Amino acid sequence: PVYLDYNATTPVDPRVLEAMLPWFTEHFGNAASRTHLYGWTAEEAVATARKQVAKLLRANLKEVVFTSGATEANNLAIKGVFEKYSYKGTHIITLATEHKAVLDTCHHIEQLGGEVTYLMPDANGLITPKQVTDALRPDTILVSVMYANNEIGVIQPIREIAAVAHAGGALFHTDATQAVGKLPIDMVEEGIDLLSLSAHKLYGPKGIGALVVRQGVEITAQMDGGGHERGRRSGTLNVPGIVGLGKACELAQKEMSAETQRLGLLRDRLEKGILANISHTFVNGNTPQRLAHLTNICFEYVDGENLLLSLKDIAVSTGSACTSASVLPSYVLKILGLTDNQAYASLRFSLGRFSTEEEIDFALQHVVEVVERMRVGSAV
């Protein structure tokens, strides 16, 4: 099937794989071994990757904390800030349409006695800085708002939200998993204190990511041990993974703008084609403020639960892959105001580096045929 689920995960770019390979076998040293060449060599490779990650976000290399991915980075950011700053206050503000890695971490904070405000977005999935201002309290220590939504791709006004968070005396964290390598990000300009990212969303390997923590911001480690990563995350470093993440960031930096342009055209071709050829369809998160490689479309008057099963020749998703073990309709789409069936009957098409025009045309034709077939006999 044609792969149109790049938001769930991306293949490793062959150039990334090539950069990683020697670090499994030839250069297998422990980056924490300070007494011999094996260790120094690995440490140097990690330092290079740290620079590559930092450069993409305009951060400092000392600010990069390698983790097992964005789930861990979100846990470390939110729990780490909560634990460190609970003497100041225990209130956190976030968004109801965050990824579960943020929402469930916030629920954990509530179990620990913290208080969390979940802001409701508008019908397109966006929140305003004013909503954040109104929710801020003297005991608010953290505002955590995702950069771009994984299901609908809408991009929040990050710079403005960070500014109001700071004005209210709170730190600002963003889960930028779906934005890193897709949008230019400048942590300094945008006022981001903590940022989570994951390699497998930008053509790097699975199981590696980072939390970038601006200088002066403190977090309590959630993984105690040998004191790696300046005491912020213990555990022997995943050197091949880190090298892969670094290479992926370097490639993204060079290719992002051309790639965004190319994928934007392909996405528009698919989206316009669907809207023009299939009646009773609409885009979820219908705002120009969204990722260029993604469209989430609702097909009304089809049985949502059968739609995905009928689309055998393309790999797309409903809801988020991370919760696909459950058959519940997407909570993100429900928050936008969709009914259960509209949410089930919504498909996320996410394109990527290896998507071609032929694939898009094939996908369009397939979707048109399947939806027409499913609607035969219905009143539409």
Separation between Cα atoms, residue 158 and residue 129, nearest integer Å:
9
Does residue 354 contact residue 11 with C-beta atoms inside 8 Å? yes
64 is a site residue for ligand PLP (CB under 6 A): no
Among the residue ranges 17-25, 32-40, 66-74, 133-141, the one whose residues contact ligand PLP (CB under 6 A): 66-74
101 is a site residue for ligand PLP (CB under 6 A): yes
Separation between Cα atoms, residue 307 and residue 337, nearest integer Å:
20
Q: Is 70 annotated as a binding residue?
A: yes
- For strands 171-175 and 115-119, give the pairing: unpaired
Assigned token pair, 193: 């204190």
10 is a site residue for ligand PLP (CB under 6 A): no
Q: Is 71 annotated as a binding residue?
A: yes
Among the residue ranges 33-41, 174-182, 336-344, 359-367, the one whose residues contact ligand PLP (CB under 6 A): 174-182
Among the residue ranges 39-47, 86-94, 128-136, 175-183, the one whose residues contact ligand PLP (CB under 6 A): 175-183
Q: How far is CA 2 from the centre of its chain?
A: 22
Report the residue from 64, 146, 217, 270 that binds ligand PLP according to the rule CB under 6 A.
146
> Closest CB to ligand PLP among 161 and 274?
161
Report the residue from 10, 90, 94, 150 that binds ligand PLP according to the rule CB under 6 A.
150
Least Cβ distance, residue 69 to ligand PLP (angstroms): 3
Position of minimal CB gap to ligand PLP = 69
177 is a site residue for ligand PLP (CB under 6 A): yes
Among the residue ranges 63-71, 124-132, 356-364, 368-376, the one whose residues contact ligand PLP (CB under 6 A): 63-71
What residues from 183 to 222 belong to the interface with ligand PLP (CB under 6 A)?
198, 209
121 is a site residue for ligand PLP (CB under 6 A): no
21 is a site residue for ligand PLP (CB under 6 A): no
232 is a site residue for ligand PLP (CB under 6 A): no
Report the residue from 322, 327, 328, 380 that binds ligand PLP according to the rule CB under 6 A.
322
Please list the active-site residues.
322
Least Cβ distance, residue 204 to ligand PLP (angstroms): 10
175 is a site residue for ligand PLP (CB under 6 A): yes
Separation between Cα atoms, residue 279 and residue 300, nearest integer Å:
8
Report the residue from 117, 178, 317, 318 that binds ligand PLP according to the rule CB under 6 A.
178
Q: Which residues bind ligand PLP (CB under 6 A)?
A: 69-71, 99, 101, 146, 150, 175, 177-178, 198, 209, 322
